[in-house]
Amino acid sequence: MTLAPPDLHQPPAPAPRRGQRPSLALGLLLTVAFMVVLDFSIVNVALASIERELHVTATAVQWVITAYAITFGGLLVLGGRIGDLFGRRRMLVAGLVLFSLASFAGGLSGSIAVLVAARAAQGVGAAIVAPASLSLITTSIPEGPARTRALGMYGATASIGFVAGLVLGGVLVQAVDWRAVLWVNVPIGLAAALLTPVWVPAPSSDPRRPRLDVAGAALVTGGIAAAVYSVSEAPSRGWLSSGTLGAFAAAAVLVAAFVAVERRHPSPLVRLSILRQRGLRTANVYMGLVGAWSGAELLVLPLYLQLDLHYSPVLTGLAMAPQGVVGFLGASSGARLARRAGLRTVLVVAGVSAAAGLFLLASFLVSRSYPLLLVGFLAAGYGTATAAFGATVAATRGIADEEQGLAGGLINMSRQIGAAIGVAAAAAVIGTASTSGGAIEPDRTALLVIAAAAVAATVAAGRRAAGLRQAT
């Protein structure tokens, strides 16, 4: 039996069973979010050690990042939707188990091929976990100030996970081994999988038997994966190479076919009319730009600190830690700002802060003075975390419970695609500047380019105000 169009009436969340407390459930879901973000940043620190121990080239070791990005970004929409259809709590547990086992297998890898395969499997698990954890938060807490506060905590946790990944990654690589950066997630993931059925209430079940849109799932997954692959590989292969252009063409064809299928399918994977909601569209555009500038910054600044200032991996993580700490404060306080001034103000202030921070970092690079760079780190960190919080609130507001997983998948996908584009653009700028004979400063130019993404996000939030004006 096919699913009827979503009913916008949202029944109250089920009462927790004995032993289930909302605070424990929220704490567990925030821990899961922490783990996913931790993994995103912690592996970057280990790439040099992986390259040396497995005796591979720099190009080959980049697939440790690319494989994860392709499966994670490509499967986020599907991961979010299967949570809506088959049970978010059930899929969260399945995703956590897969993510943990893949992390353990990656740490045992004796070759780059096995490691890349494990990272791809990690990406599949993360694509299930990320939208499921977010949608469990948004469906268990009614829309309003309480949910906004919870999403502020969600964003703050992500900021701490980012910093912890940089610092802990450096410590583990230097004190233990690169394999430890993969194994650190195993106990967290398995413990969360065991505690989820105990602490997290099961959402109300739909008596109708769900039917998955297999054709739509295959097309959107293939299209997004091809798009992520093309922008990830373009800097090394060349933007006009046959491989890059072929991947772009494949992505366009698959996405176009996906739209055609969804328009005719009685139970589509993505109800296309959901994209008519201006708040959701604006949030996804904005989050894509957040991904672009934050992903590129994560590439440029650690390289600058290690290669130009000769910082160790641990010192690099510590140098960037204040950015995550102030990001934690920004996301935590975002709910109060949204309640007092409205969500549009949050997004504009965040974009201005991020742009100012990136411009300051670009200006202070030549000084080689960390105290000056710290000013830029603080402004950029506050802006990035607050921007991600605001976009998440905007993306999930006004969405029926039965489509919260889809909304979570879309907003996470936007950030991942934006990050892939931002990293590719920064790498291209650095490559071009490096061959300019000193006429262009690579790191400074790249930061100025990605600062433009923050400016664009500010403009988007200011102009697309419909659906964002309501204070939250």
Token pair listed for 123: 């990406």
Residue 11 lies in a domain: no
pLDDT of residue 97 exceeding 80: yes
Among the listed ranges 78-82, 185-189, 268-272, 351-355, which one has the minimum average pLDDT value?
268-272
Domain CATH code at residue 305: 1.20.1250.20
Check whether residue 187 and residue 219 sit in a common domain.
no
Which of 458, 321, 313, 278 has its CA nearest to residue 383? 458
Does the pLDDT at position 377 exceed 90? yes
CA distances from 151 to 123, 204, 368, 422 (A): 23, 22, 37, 25
Q: Does any domain span residue 33?
A: yes
Q: Determine the structural domain holding residue 241 and report its residue range.
A: 213-268
Q: What residue has token string 């695609």? A: 417
- The two tokens of residue 287 are 């989050």
Dist CA 123 CA 106 (whole Å): 12
The two three-digit tokens of residue 470, written as one number? 């309501």
Residue 91 has pLDDT above 70, yes or no: yes
Same domain, 27 and 82: yes
Of 66-70, 75-79, 114-118, 266-270, the range with the highest mean pLDDT is: 114-118
Residue 143 in any domain: the answer is yes
How sure is the predictor about 155, in pLDDT bands with cuts at 50, 70 and 90? confident
Over residues 122-145, the mean pLDDT reads 92
263 and 274: one domain? no
Give start and end residues of each alpha helix (H) in 200-342. Answer: 214-237, 242-264, 278-303, 313-341
Give 228-243 pLDDT, tens digit per residue: 888 877 777 888 889 8
pLDDT attached to residue 335: 84
Q: Are residues 188 and 45 in the same domain?
A: yes
Reported confidence tier of residue 206, pLDDT bands at 50, 70, 90: low
What's the chain's average pLDDT?
Answer: 85
Tell me what percent of the residues of the chain surpass a pLDDT of 70: 90
Q: Tell me, yes or no, whether 228 and 88 share the same domain.
A: no
Confidence band of 208 (pLDDT split at 50, 70, 90): low
Structure tokens at 428: 């291209």
* pLDDT score for 184: 94
Task: Please indicate, yes or no, if residue 136 is contained in any of the structural domains.
Answer: yes
Number of domains in the chain: 2
Residues 175, 108 within the same domain: yes
Calpha distance 240→249 (Å, rounded): 12
- Look up residue 450 and give its two tokens: 């990605």
353 vs 188: CA distance, rounded Å: 33
CB within 8 A of 256, min separation 6: which ones? none
Question: 136: pLDDT confidence band, cut at 50, 70 and 90?
Answer: very high
35 and 165 housed in the same domain: yes
How much of the chain exceeds pLDDT 90, in percent?
A: 34
Backbone angles phi, psi at 204, to 5 degrees: -55, 130
Listed in sequence order, the residues at least 6 apart from 48 whose beta carbon sits closer than 8 Å to its beta carbon are none
Whether 210 shows a pLDDT value over 80: the answer reads: no
At 268 the pLDDT is: 87
pLDDT at 135: 92
Higher-confidence position of 432 and 97: 97
Assess if residue 7 is contained within a domain.
no
Specify the amino acid at residue 217.
A
Same domain for 414 and 294: yes
Q: Name every residue whose Cβ is closer than 8 Å to that of residue 245 and which is 6 or more positions away in sequence.
A: none
* pLDDT at 297 exceeding the cut of 80: yes
Q: Which of 29, 142, 31, 145 is nearest to 88 (CA)?
A: 29
Burial code of 181-206, b = ≥16 C-beta within 10 A, e = fewer? Answer: bbbbbbebbbebbebbeebbbebeee
Q: In whole angstroms, give the CA distance from residue 320 to residue 332.
A: 19
Q: Mark which of 243, 268, 293 sits at the end of a domain.
A: 268
Decide which of 252, 268, 284 is a domain's last residue: 268
432-465 burial, b at 16+ Cβ within 10 Å, e below that, comes to ebeeeeeeebbbbbbbbbbbbbbbbbbebbeebb
User: Does a structural domain hold residue 121?
Assistant: yes
CB 293 within 8 A of CB 354: yes
| Mean pLDDT within 57-75 | 83
What is the band of 204 on the pLDDT scale with cuts at 50, 70, 90?
low
CA–CA dist 74, 232 (Å, integer): 13
Place of tokens 């505690």: 195
Reference 77, options 246, 229, 208, 262; nearest CA is 262
Considering the domain architecture, whether residues 161 and 291 belong to the same structural domain is answered as yes
- So what's the pLDDT on residue 1? 36
Q: What is the distance between the alpha carbons of residues 286 and 461, in angstroms, rounded to a whole number?
A: 7
Mean pLDDT of 117-146: 92
Per-residue tokens: 315: 């010192």
pLDDT of residue 128: 95
Residues 75, 29: Cα–Cα separation, whole Å: 20
Q: For residues 414 and 290, is the Cβ–Cβ distance under 8 A?
A: no
User: What pLDDT score does 12 carry?
Assistant: 47
| 471 lies in some domain | no
Q: What is the pLDDT of residue 156?
A: 84
Mark whether 263 and 399 lie in a shared domain: no
Backbone dihedral angles phi then psi of residue 440, each to the nearest 5 degrees = -125, 135
Q: State phi, psi for 155 to the nearest 5 degrees.
A: -70, -40
Answer yes or no: do 164 and 242 share one domain: no
Once rounded to an integer, what is the mean pLDDT over residues 216-220? 89
Q: Quick one: tokens of 122?
A: 């990690």
If asked whether residues 136 and 264 sit together in one domain, one would say no
- DSSP structural state of residue 238: -
Among candidate residues 377, 336, 317, 335, the one with its CA nearest the CA of residue 353: 377
C-beta of residue 165 within 8 angstroms of C-beta of residue 39: yes
209, pLDDT greater than 90: no
Residue 436 pLDDT class (50, 70, 90 cuts): low
The residue assigned the tokens 């490096």 is: 434
Q: Is 175 inside a domain boundary?
A: yes
